[in-house]
Amino acid sequence: MSHTAELPWPVPDERFRHWAGQFADMHDLVRDLVIPPGLPQAAESVLTTARELLRMSYYRFEFMMIGAGTSIIAVETVLTDRYGKGTLAGHLKRARADGLLTEEQYDLLDGAGRPLRNRYAHGDLTHAALSPPMAVGIVRTSITVLGELHAASGPGATPEPARAGDVQN
């Protein structure tokens, strides 16, 4: 029987030294990423995971990108539920046109988040670079958008039907 060596305990990722001196500093980084109450359990779980990946990036810098990408996938799921089949780019444009996203939210989700999500979905994060403030901004925007979309789809709200011609990527 072969003996497998124990994995080492995590050590701080050297690339994080400019952003946090100790793990406790990571709490401050994500403190305002509060998941709104009442979200569907799946959305709450994904957003909590995204936030925790940001905290854990202290030990593995790539978790920063994975956390941000995970939050974009949650937005994509909600927009697909709202609009039907289609691409994330198309859903984001439509949500902006429908007034569900501000220009700033759209720019962050489409300009930074969508390319990151694409790299994440295709396993190409090895060279992705994302600063902690940018990653936090993407996750914050995802949390805000999901909270607003959930509130808009609450009792008395009419969900937007899928349009003819929407296609899956």
Q: What is the pLDDT along the chain (169 residues), one digit of tens a residue?
A: 567 788 888 999 998 888 899 999 999 999 999 999 888 888 899 999 999 999 999 999 989 988 999 999 899 988 998 999 999 999 999 999 999 999 999 999 999 888 888 887 777 766 667 889 999 999 999 999 999 888 877 544 444 433 434 333 3
Q: Are 66 and 98 in contact (CB under 8 A)?
A: no
Burial class (CB in 10 A: 0-12, 13-18, 19+), 44: middle
The pTM (predicted TM-score) of the whole model is: 0.82
Residue 146: closest CA among 97, 74, 87: 74
